[in-house]
Amino acid sequence: MLRIMAIGDVTSPAAALWLSSRLWEVRRQHSIDLLLVNAENAGFIMGPSADSAKRLLEGGADVLTGGNHMLQNFSLHKTLEENPRILRPINYPAAAPGLGYTVVDAKGYRVLVLNALGRVHMDTLTDSPFTAIDAALQREKGRYDVAVLDFHAEATGEKLAIGHHLDGRVAAVFGTHTHVPTADTKILPKGTGYVSDLGMCGADGGIIGMSAESVLHRYLTSLPGKFQAAEGPMYADAVIFTVDEASGSAKAVERIRID
């Protein structure tokens, strides 16, 4: 069995530093064969910095996935072109820098890691994630043993739809973006492990990783203001998918919290 861990959105450079110092121990403690981290906000909202990305990969992450902010950090574009273990959503236009999927080794098996961006209630202009993923699975057919997807999206309904669309064709579909862990860990009818949102990695006590004061200022005044990272004890929300290598199906889906 393959044990694949996925960790929710890293919300700040401080969170990236904290997480990277613990990942190897987390891997040992939970017998993890493949570890995926959504680094969408690791550089504080505007995608990860090159330094944060490097730190997380050296600290124990196998692949970093992204989302709607991933390409807003122009300093990362060169890194995206050079490092296939740092992904941006597959349904960005083809001219965008970087890759939307990669194949990595886990315990001798080829794992196709896909990253896609939802379109419901999102302000990024992208192609259909459904057709982009279908095309990638067809293109890479025979070149991987197991496939997993980080679907960075706002709407739960869209996440569930992509889960059912891919049910039986990928081992796991996990949602990111909302920073709030959902309680719907399950195995879909044809064997795909699923959860609507992993949650986040960052400081406890704020509002989805941001300080309560900076968020409330916007709600109470309707004025623009700069968000500040929350302060407090760090934690990370994660889900572990236990996958049968022979069938490519999930056999267990377990939510954990790292703190």
Is 69 a residue of the active site?
Answer: yes
Edge-to-edge strands, sheet with 172-176? 101-106, 109-117, 146-152, 172-176, 193-195, 186-187
β-strand 200-203 against 193-195: which pairing, if any? unpaired
Which pair of tokens denotes residue 177? 């973006």
Query: Strands, DSSP E only, in the chain?
Result: 2-7, 9-10, 34-38, 63-65, 101-106, 109-117, 146-152, 172-176, 186-187, 193-195, 200-203, 234-244, 249-258
Q: Are 114 and 141 in contact (CB under 8 A)?
A: no
B/e letters for 221-249, b = 16+ CB within 10 Å, e = fewer, are: eeeeeebbbbeeebbbbbbbbbbebeebb
Neighbours of 14 (CB within 10 A): 18
Please tell me which residue in 69, 152, 177, 179 is annotated as part of the active site: 69
Residues 6+ apart with CB under 8 A from 235: 201, 202, 204, 257, 258, 259
CA dist., res. 226 & res. 188, Å (int): 41
Beta bridge mates, 242: 3, 252
Would you please indicate which residues are annotated as catalytic (active-site) residues? 69
